[in-house]
Structure 1
Amino acid sequence: MTIPKTPKGISNRITKIRSQLSAFKREYGFIDDGGGARYYLFYLYFLLGDNRRSSEYIRWFQKDFPDDSGEPFALLCWALILHRMGKDGNYILARTMLSNIYLLPHLLGEEMPEEIPHSSNWNGADFLEYTPERILEAITDDDLSWIRERFHSERFQKVLNRHIEIEKELEDTPRGDRRSALVHELYSLLDGWR
C-alpha cells in the first residue's frame, strides 16, 4: 500500500481503513484482515504523529487482536509511537527485535546476526528489502539513540542470544518433548516484560 504524502492524506486514509474494518466487524462479528491493513495503520499513525489518535488505535488493536504476533515494521512503528509519547515501549521494541532479528541492527547500521532458519518470510534478512522508505525517513536521531540503548542493553541481548540459540537448536531437533519445550521457551522469552 502506498503512503499518502500529506498529513491530511494520511488522516483520510486512516479514517477510510478504520471505517472498512469496523464495517466488516459490524456485518460479520469479526475482522478479516488478510491484507494486513491493521499493520499498515501503525505506519500511518507513526507518520501522522497524533498521540491521541495513536493511543486510541493502540487500545483498539490490543482489544481486537490480542494474540496478534505483529509484523516487524508495524511493531517498530508501535514502539516508536510509545517512545515519542513518553510511554514504556521496551516490550514492543523487544517484540520488534524478535519478529525480525535483522531489523534493529539494520536501522543502527550495525553488523547483522548470522542467517538462521525462520518460520516466516517476515523473519528473514531479505524482508528488510521491503522497508518502507517513509518510515525510515521519519525515524529521528532521538529514536535511533533510544533503539541503540535498548538493543545493546543486557536484557535485550540476553533475550536475543537465547532466541538465536533456540532457533538453531530447533533446526535439528525432531518432534517430541525436547522440541516442544524449546518452542514453548521461544514463545515465552518476553514473559514478564509487561
Structure 2
Amino acid sequence: MTPKQRQRLEKKIADVKRVLAAEKRKFGGYDDSRGLRYLPTRYYIQLADYQGGLTYLRWFAKTFPDDIGFPDFLFEWAILLFKAGKLAEAKVKVWQTFCANTYVLDKFFGQPLQPLPKYEWSTMAQLGFTAHFPYTHQQTDLLDMSHWLAEFMTSDTFSTRKARYLTLHQQLLVEEDNEIRCYLHQEADELESQASF
C-alpha cells in the first residue's frame, strides 16, 4: 500500500468519526441510518491496524450496545480479534457471523452456495448479500486466519452447534404448534448467544 492510499483510508476513518461526533453533538445521540459506523472496520483491516480497529470496536460496543451488526461487519470484527491474538473472542464473533448469515463462511472459503431450507428472514436476500462479501480465504493478508478458521469450523464444538442450529431453523419451517415453536426459538436464541467455545 502506498503512503497516499494509506492516507486516504485514514481520512475515511477520520471522516466517519467526524460525522458521527457531529450527529452526537446535534442530536444528543446517533442517527446513523446510513450505517457509517460499520465502515471503519474494513478500513482498519486494509491498513493492517488491528489494534486501532479493536479500539474502534470497543467504542462501538459501548456506544451501540444493542446493535447486532451485519454479517460482514461481524466477520471483520472476528478478523480484527484474530489478528490481535484474541482467539477465544474471535471464535465467538465467527459464530455470531454464522448465525447472522449462514452462507458467509462458505463464501469466504469459495464453496458453492446452496440454499438451505431454513427459517430465516430471507434465504434469497442472504444469498444476495453474500454475493457482495469482499473477503476470501485466498487473500494473502488473511491466509493465517483462513487456516485457523478452517480448523475451528471443523472442531466438534462448532460442527455440533452448527448442525443443531440448522436443524432448529429447519424445524421452524414446518412446525405449526405455537408452544413447540416457542421452544425452538428459545433454543435457537440460546445457541446464538453462547459466548464461549
Could you tell me the TM-score, scaled by structure 1's length? 0.85
Q: Flag the 1:26–1:67 CA change in 2: closer, same or farther, 3 A.
A: same
Structure 2: distance between partners of 1:43 and 1:135 = 16
Equivalent residue number for residue 63 of structure 1: 62
Equivalent pairs counted in the alignment come to 190
The one-letter code sitting in structure 1 at the alignment partner of 2:82 is: H
Equivalent residue number for residue 176 of structure 1: 178
Q: Flag the 1:64–1:175 CA change in 2: closer, same or farther, 3 A.
A: farther
- Percent identical among aligned pairs is 27
CA deviation after TM superposition for structure 1 residue 77, in Å: 1.0
Structure 1: distance between partners of 2:164 and 2:148 = 22
CA deviation after TM superposition for structure 1 residue 92, in Å: 0.6
Equivalent residue number for residue 193 of structure 1: 196
CA deviation after TM superposition for structure 1 residue 110, in Å: 3.4
Equivalent residue number for residue 52 of structure 1: 51
Higher mean Cα deviation, 114-123 or 167-176?
Answer: 114-123
Tell me, yes or no, if the aligned pair for 2:20 and 2:30 is still in contact at 8 Å. yes
Q: Flag the 1:36–1:85 CA change in 2: closer, same or farther, 3 A.
A: same
Structure 2: distance between partners of 1:21 and 1:122 = 32
CA deviation after TM superposition for structure 1 residue 153, in Å: 1.0
**Structure 1, unpaired ranges of 5+:** none
Q: Are 2:85 and 1:82 aligned?
A: no
Higher mean Cα deviation, 9-18 or 31-40?
Answer: 31-40
CA deviation after TM superposition for structure 1 residue 188, in Å: 1.4
CA deviation after TM superposition for structure 1 residue 143, in Å: 1.4
Aligned-residue CA RMSD in angstroms?
2.6
Report which of the two has the higher share of helix: 2
